[in-house]
Every structure is written in C-alpha cells, then in structure tokens.
Amino acid sequence: MKLGGGLESEELRVRQSILYTVGRICDEEAQKQQHEHHVRARPPMSKEAMALLADLVYKQSEELQFFARHANRKIIKTEDVTLLARKQPNL
C-alpha cells in the first residue's frame, strides 16, 4: 500500500534523522573510546552497516508505537520497551 505524499515525506524525514543520529553516535563513541583508552579506534562502521542499524531502530520504534497505541496511550512508556525486549530473546 502506497502512502500519501505527506506521510511518505514524513517517513523519509524520520528515517533520515535516525540515520544521521546513528552516524553521529557511532562517530562520537569511536572518538570517545580512542580518547579514553589511548588506543587506535575500532574500525569505523560502513555506511551500509549504519543504514541497517538505522533501519532496525526505525522498525523497533514502530513496534513501540504499536504497543503504546494498543494501550490507548500517545506516549511510549517503559512497559512498551519491556514488551519489545521480551520479543527479543537475545536481549
């Protein structure tokens, strides 16, 4: 099902924002590790790896929204995160 133009562009903005944020976090953590431990930084994440991680964050955020909506709430709470974690046995 194709979304309307407004929803499509909003989703794109959210996805781009997540990708940007994931990239910044990865860069900041690499710099922090290098500074704190005085060692060479770990190999940087590839753009493809960052894109996959950002996509995972986006999909998980959708799940959190579904849990909150199911509970008739507009705010995602810790119990939603707990429910999401239960679906991930490796967490």
List, in order of start, the domains of the chain with CATH numbers: 5-86 (1.10.20.10)
- Compute φ and ψ for 7, nearest 5 degrees: -70, -40
pLDDT, average across residues 40-58: 87
**Which residues lie closer than 8 Å to 43 by C-beta, 6 or more apart?**
none
* pLDDT value of position 91: 67
> In a 3-state reduction of DSSP, which class is residue 38?
coil
Can you tell me the distance from the alpha carbon of 29 to that of 7, in angstroms, rounded to the nearest whole number? 33
39/23 Cα distance (integer angstroms): 21
Residue corresponding to tokens 């991930």: 88
Mean pLDDT of the 38-55 span? 84
What's residue 34's pLDDT?
A: 77
Residue 1 clears pLDDT 50, i.e. is over it: no
Given a cut of 60, is residue 66 above it in pLDDT?
A: yes
